[in-house]
Amino acid sequence: MKSIKGPAIFLAQFAGDESPFNSLESIAQWAQGLGYKGLQIPSWDARLFDLARAAEDLAYCAEIKATLAKFDLEITELSTHLQGQLVAVHPAYDEMFDGFADPSVRGNPDARQKWAVNQMFLAAKASKNLGLTAHVTFPGALLWPFMYPWPQRPQGLVEQGFEELAKRWRPILDAFDAAGVDVCYEIHPGEDLHDGATFERFLEAVDNHPRCCILFDPSHFVLQHLDYLDFIDRYHERIKMFHVKDAELNPTGRDGVYGGYQSWEDRAGRFRSLGDGQVDFRSIFSKLTKYNFDGWAVLEWECCIKHPEDGAAEGARFIEDHIIRVTERAFDDFAGGDIDAAANRRILGLSKE
C-alpha cells in the first residue's frame, strides 16, 4: 500500500486580481503558509499560467517548477475543466458556455469546438513538459438535456450521443497517451459522464482506452444520492485523481436532488467546506489507500456559507489528518516466522512425501 500524497489545493476558486491571488508566486507562498504541498493549476487563468507557452517552452516549464520549489510545492496536475467542457456542447447551452472560450471564437460554435480541442492538445504537451502523469478535465455533454426520460428518448439517441462524444475525444486521448499522461474526467452532473453507468458507456465507446480515467469527487455523488464508497470498489483501477470536497443532501417534502431551481444556499443538496458536510472521508481515504491510489488529495473549495480563505486553511489540516501513513508490516507479524514447509505439512496432517 501507499500513502496518499497531499495536502494539495485546486487554485481555480482562489485566483483573483488582488494579492496574493493574482500571481503564481504569491499564491504559492500563500498556499505554503497554510500547509499545502501541491497545487493543481487552472490552465485557462493567464494570471497564473500560460498554457500555449508551456506546451512549447521547456525553459518556461522549468521556471514554473522552480517558482513552486522555492515554497516546497509541486504541480499535481493541470486542469482544463473549461476547455474540456467546450469539446462537446449541446446548442441549448451555447450562449451560457461561450464565456469559457477565447473571445475570438465566441458566437461561433464550430470555431469554439476546434479551439477547445487544440487547447487539449496543448495541455497534453504542457503536462509532458512539466513531468506530470495525470490531467483533469470535463468531458462536455451532448445528452444532458435528455437526462430525464421525458419526453421519451428516441431509440438510438443515447448510443449516438456517446459515439459522437467518443469520436471527439479519441484523438485527444491518443495525444495524452503519446505524452504519457492520464486524462481524468470529473464525474459530474451536467456532464455526459456523471455516474458509473455513463462512464462505462464512454469507456466502451473509446475501446477501453488506457488513458481514459476518473477524477473522483465524492461531493457530486452525495448530491446525486450515489454510493461513493461502492464507486471506489468498482472503478478504483481508473481513479487517478481525487478532489477532496464535502457536500450535504437534506431532502424534504419540498425539494430534493433536483433543487427546485433554488440558489445554492436554499437547495437540499449543496457543497460545503471540508468537515461541514456529510461525506465519510475516513472511509474514502481508507479505501483509496487500500487500492494503492498513487495520486494527490486535492482540496476543491466550493461552499455557499464559509469564507474561502477559512475553508482553505481548515482544508489543509483536514486533509493532513486524513492521510494514512501505511504500515510496513502486518500487526500479527510477531506470531509468525520463516516458512517451514515440513512443519506446515505436519500441521495439516499430510505425509512427508
Stronger pLDDT, 247 or 347, i.e. the higher one: 247
Residue 64 has pLDDT above 90, yes or no: yes
**Grid coordinates 474514502 are at which residue?**
284
- Distinct helix (H) and strand (E) counts, the chain: 13, 10
Predicted local confidence at residue 177, as pLDDT:
98
pLDDT in tens, 206-257: 999 999 999 999 999 999 999 999 999 999 999 999 999 999 999 999 999 9
* pLDDT confidence of residue 58: 98
Distances (CA, A) of 53 to 50, 61, 119, 126, 292: 5, 8, 12, 8, 34
Specify the pLDDT at position 328. Answer: 79
pLDDT digits (tens, 9 = 90+) for 274-330: 999 999 999 999 999 999 999 999 999 999 999 999 999 999 999 999 999 998 777
Mean per-residue pLDDT over the chain, rounded: 96
pLDDT digits (tens, 9 = 90+) for 46-55: 999 999 999 9
Whole-angstrom distance, CA of residue 139 vs CA of residue 130: 23
CATH topology of domain 5-347: TIM Barrel (3.20.20)
Confidence check: pLDDT of 352 > 80: no
Tell me the CA distances in angstroms from 46 to 41, 271, 324, one per residue in order: 11, 27, 36
Measured distance CA(85)–CA(138) in Å, rounded = 5
Instruction: List the domain boundaries for the chain.
Output: 5-347
Q: For residue 69, which phi and psi values (nearest 5 degrees)? A: -60, -30
| 15 DSSP assignment | -
pLDDT score, position 338: 78
